Chain A
Amino acid sequence: MSQSMGRSLLVGFIWVLGLLYFLEVRRYTEPSETMTITAVFWCFTLLAGIELVRLFRSHRGRADKAAGGAGFSSILRDKRTHLALLIILYLVLIPLLGFYAASFLSFAAFGYALGARKLAHIVLPNLLVLVFIYIVFTVLLKIMLPSGLLF
């Protein structure tokens, strides 16, 4: 996907989000609740329109057609895909296992995905970071981190 196409999609997407917000706020009758959002939304719409026209012109003028999307298998092999999936899994595991157990597993899995193969390379930094967090956040600052089945 060319950059101008990507930018167009992003501008369109955030404009839709802005529109949903604007429509929700319009329900209110009190001007003080709607005035800023209305003014900002219309300025935002105007600039988004100008940006989209500019992107459309540059896309047409430069002939920077899409170089062909990456294959599904290459997306699956991409470290960024692994990272995204790991983050989602991490967030699912926190309420189930508790912060420390979920963090231990995610740290190890993430390190492995980034090329760590020796057990010491996976476990030692992991333990050091978690012990540090435990001492600073749980013991000293007394921050309540989510607990679950394990810890």
Chain B
Amino acid sequence: MDFDQLLQAAGMMMTWDMPLWVVGGLFIGIFLGAIPGVSGVLAITLLLGPSYYMPALQAIIFFTAIYTGSVYGGGITAVLMNIPGTPAAIATGFDGYAMTQSGRHNEALGASIFSSAVGVFLSYFVVLLLFLPLGRVVLKFGPAEMLMVVIFALTSVGMVKGEILQTVLLGLFGILVGTIGSSPYGHARGTFGFPALFEGIPIVPALLGLLAVSELFIMVEQKYIIKTGDRPRQSVREIVRGMGLVLHHPKNLIRSCLIGLGIGLMPAAGSTIASMVSYAAARRASNHPERFGKGELDGVIAAEASNNGSEGGAVATMMLLGIPGSVTTALLIAAFMIHGMSPGPYLIRENLTFAYAVILNQFIQAGLLLVIATLFVNYFSRIIFIPTRILAPAVLVFSVVGALSARGLILDAVIMVLFAALGYTLKKLDYPYMGFILGFILGDVVDREFLKSFLMYADDLPDLFSRPAFLVMFVLTVLSIVWPYFYARFQKPKG
């Protein structure tokens, strides 16, 4: 750990407005995280445009606070109504809702809040310790390794989604779209005569279309996000008592945080898988596995500590390698790029203090999450009753503002609509649109690194395999492609 940089990072956070961004981000994240199908992704997408006008550190911290809030927020409605706001909260509902049914909802809410906060805190603490050693390894990566990292990210997203061919296909299309703009020699590539596209397809309108406006077409098919539901009353005193109960389960808590962190570090694995794996591990380790699913506190602790713990891993991978493991981290990369920073080796080399400041701030976020979630949990659970006749037009207007805010060009709003059509089609046809987003965001990186790799190794291709990092990434990529086929083969029932 570089203590000088760490102190400088702490100094960077000492501004009067920093706590406001954190509190605002947590509120927005928890509110939207509680709404099924909406989540923090929508909030970050809508706010990417205005973030042009925010200082870089404030913008990134605001977005990570939304991320933290939304991962936790999904658990509130899972506990109270068995309606997970996000897929990552499905495992929370297994025991959380069973506890609510037996009148222990405050205990479950307290356990979920405390486990979430500890998940964030512990995972980022480990990230803080390992960031520089891992960063030094990443700094040894050359263009060929970086290119391999992108390919590995695409294949591992495909492996997790179970559709490698489709993910890589859409990823390659995304790379083509991502390279539109001026060439290294200043010629227009793929602009089809529009001078405004000379700078490339603007990232904010494209993501707004893909993620926010396309979702509107799905949203308008229903009157309310959720029609009815009983919400038991909450008591702050009982919630605090529930928090205390978590301390009686330290092994489960720490194990779940570490599982979350480990899974979060892998590209594409994410919080949903983390919570499921951790829930299964807690059940296996328990003396009373038969109680799981019937209101066992350990189930809530395992699910919430791991899904929030995965955030630390995902953010670390994003900052160290520059590859997004999920849509949310893809949006965080976009936010870095908007502020002229490129996550990956460049960030470590040139903006290490900035990266430390982002990590350090997560400890403040964990503390504030504890306070905000405890005091306002009753209000957060009401958001899902908002009618779509209000929510959908508001999302549309905010999307248009976001698209126009960067350059004020109507063309950007048109680009947003075109990408919305693409996003809606991909979602309707059940294609893994994450592959496209990954390719689109990393198109520029692929263009640059491919060119450098070609110039360096075109005459001596075998030399590439003498580089350990390249070899490791190559083997991992091949494994991610062949593993599902072998797995399916060995899983087939005999006879």
Binding site for B on A (CB under 8 A): 3, 6-7, 10-11, 14, 17-18, 20-21, 24-25, 28, 30, 32-33, 35-37, 39-41, 43-44, 47-48, 50-51, 54, 79-80, 82-84, 87-88, 90-91, 94-95, 99, 103, 106-107, 110-111, 114-116, 121, 125-126, 129-130, 133, 136-137, 141-146
* Interface size grouping (class) on chain B: 35 or more
- Indicate whether B139 reaches chain A with its CB closer than 8 angstroms: no
> Does B429 reach chain A (CB closer than 8 Å)?
yes
Give the interface of B toward A (CB within 8 A). 50, 53, 165-166, 168-169, 172-173, 175-176, 179-180, 183-185, 187, 189-190, 192, 213, 216-217, 220-221, 223, 388-390, 392-394, 396-398, 400-401, 404-405, 408, 410, 413-414, 417, 420, 425-426, 428-431, 446-447, 450-451, 454
B410 x A146 contact (CB < 8 A): yes
Residues of A within 8 A of B404 (CB): 94, 99, 143, 145-146
Whether the Cβ atoms of A91 and B410 lie closer than 8 Å is: yes
B165 touches A114 (CB 8 A): no
Q: A36-B179, A91-B413, A115-B389 are in contact. Are A103 and B430 (CB under 8 A)?
A: no
Chain A residues whose C-beta falls within 8 Å of the C-beta of B401 in the assembled complex: 99, 133, 137, 143, 145
Q: CA A65 – CA B169 in complex, angstroms? A: 25
Other A-B pairs, 6, CB within 8 Å; known A17-B176, A143-B401, A145-B408: A10-B429, A44-B169, A51-B165, A94-B400, A114-B223, A141-B53
Please determine whether B172 and A44 come into contact, CB atoms closer than 8 angstroms.
yes
* Cβ-defined contact, B405 with A44, below 8 A: no
* CB < 8 Å A-B pair total: 167
Instruction: From known contacts A47-B165, A130-B397, infer whether A3 and B429 are also in contact, taking CB-CB under 8 Å.
Output: yes
By the criterion CB–CB under 8 Å, are A80 and B220 in contact? yes
Given the known A-B contacts A47-B169, A50-B165, are A36 and B447 also in contact in the complex, defined by CB atoms under 8 Å?
A: yes
10 inter-chain pairs at a CB distance below 8 angstroms, sorted by A residue, are A24-B190, A80-B221, A91-B413, A94-B413, A110-B393, A111-B389, A114-B223, A137-B405, A145-B401, A146-B410
B interface SS class: helix
- Could you tell me the distance between the alpha carbons of A99 and B401 in the complex, rounded to whole angstroms? 9
- Known A28-B183, A36-B451; judge A146-B220 contact (CB<8 A): no
Tell me which residues across on chain A come within 8 A of B180, comparing CB atoms.
Answer: 21
Give complex CA distance A114, B222 in Å: 9
Cα–Cα, bound, A133→B454 (Å): 48
The answer, among B173, B393, B405, for a CB contact under 8 Å with A111, is B393
